Amino acid sequence: MEDFTFQCKTKFIFGKNTENQVGDETKKYSSNILLHYGKGSIKKSGLYDKIIKSLDNSGVKYTELSGVIPNPRLELVKEGIKICRENKIDFILAVGGGSVIDSAKAIAMGVPYEGDVWDFFSKGKKITNALHISTVLTLPATGSEASSATVITNGKRKLAASSDFLRPVFSIMNPELTFTLPKFQTVCGISDMMAHIFERYFSNSKNVNLTDELCEGTLRSLIKNARLVMKEPENYDCRANIMWAGTIAHGGILGTGRDEDWASHRIEHELSAFYDITHGAGLSIIFPAWMKYVYKHDVNKFAQFGKEVWGIESENKEETALKAIEHTKNFFREIGLPVSLKELKINEEKLEEMAKACGSVGNFVKLNEKDVLEIYRLAL
């Protein structure tokens, strides 16, 4: 087991009608906030009205910034930073999914920084301060309601930054808010959660059986509930298990004591930067290809994955490993996710350019530009 430091300060307020607590919780930190959200689905669902009512009741003044889109853009982040500075705002409430939360995190770290906020992403500048942020989660997927990370898109560059300063001070999670999610968004969320676990599970760290167990258990629960939610989209407990799994998957605890990989995320980021596809759909294409490309590095681990997660019983480890990869791909297909680039009408054309932009990635297996290109080709 590797040495580690782990701290997740976020207060999770989970359950029915919890969105009505947003005003009181916010008031503990600020009475002058930025209310950040997407393209307005929260208005249609009635969530916006509830949030406003709760903020008003608690005497919290808010300035609105809407318009966050999937693969959230740097331009809007910069607009948010300007608004916060002009209005002396010291707290950001993100209402939405991972894109809105990531956008809020980028604004939060940009406000106290004199330089260009993109420095944190492109130059790896260390984050030493940020406004407090909080969330009302509407789309379980990225784990951003708990995580230290944010991913922002600037032109064709999609990059990540991370710091414990970016963990939300509170996250409100009502599974009922996810009953009406389109099926495709639900399954993209599940793919993203599973990917967050894979990035930690496939590790060179030895003798980490506790976190192996936690990873495998969370994966099994996700697979079970993914199948159930297809049939019963308004099953509260099913939605609740999925929503909380998203937080567990990326809150950090599953990675404690382990070297993590993150190659597939970087490889997918180029894909969604070039083609603006949904992250979870990119991951369901890339992960099986990545697995096929790297499994020989640790056949035992992939065989363990096959046995524990997919219930494959075989004496032959190579066979179990290969079957596990097939099961993963078949599962993604079964729940309605793409598993090849051609399904998204992406062909050979830009693969080399994307591989070049991606560069060297990974930790479980260190991959260079050529390896990345091979993985893109396996995904065609």
Beta carbon nearer to a second copy, 112 or 217: 217
Residue 97 vs 246, nearer CB to a second copy: 246
Residue 300 C-beta: closest distance to a second copy, Å: 16
Evaluate whether 94 touches 101 at the Cβ level (below 8 Å): yes
Indicate the SS3 state at residue 63: strand
Q: Kindly state the smallest distance separating residue 344's Cβ from a second copy, in Å.
A: 31
Task: Report how far residue 107's alpha carbon sits from residue 99's, in angstroms, rounded to the nearest whole number.
Answer: 12
Instruction: Provide the minimum distance between the beta carbon of 239 and a second copy in the complex, in angstroms, as a whole number.
Output: 9
Distance CA 43, CA 176 (A): 16
Residue 9: which of 159, 143, 166 has the closest Cα?
166
By beta-carbon proximity to a second copy, the closer residue of 107 and 172 is 172
Q: What is the DSSP letter of 176?
A: G
User: Which CB atom, from 214 or from 379, has the smaller least distance to a second copy?
Assistant: 214
**Least CB distance to a second copy at residue 236 (A):** 8
In whole angstroms, the minimum distance from the beta carbon of 298 to a second copy comes to: 17
Quote the CA–CA distance of 181 and 162 in Å, as a whole number: 28
Q: State both tokens at 250.
A: 């990326």
Q: Exposure of 17 by Cβ count < 10 A (0-12 exposed, 13-18 middle, 19+ buried)?
A: exposed
Question: C-beta of 283: minimal distance to a second copy in Å?
Answer: 20
Six-digit token string for 141: 């997927």
CB distance 136 to 51 below 8 Å: yes
Nearer to a second copy, 175 or 282 (CB): 175
Provide, rounded to whole angstroms, the least separation between the CB of residue 316 and a second copy.
22
Q: Which is nearer to a second copy, 215 or 285 (CB)?
A: 215
CA distance 234 to 223: 17
Tell me how far, at minimum, the Cβ of 205 lies from a second copy, in Å. Answer: 9
Choice between 85 and 224, CB closer to a second copy: 224
Residues with Cβ within 8 Å of 102's Cβ and at least 6 positions away in sequence, in order, are: 72, 142, 144, 149, 150, 151, 152
| DSSP state, residue 116 | -
- List the one residue out of 259, 264, 244, 254 whose CA is nearest residue 212: 254
CB-nearer residue toward a second copy: 153 or 218: 218
Q: Which residues bind a second copy (CB under 8 A)?
A: 1-16, 18, 175, 206-210, 213-214, 216-218, 220-221, 224-225, 236-238, 240-241, 244-245, 248, 253, 256-257
Residue 156: helix, strand or coil by DSSP? Answer: coil
The tokens describing 356, both together, are 């070049």
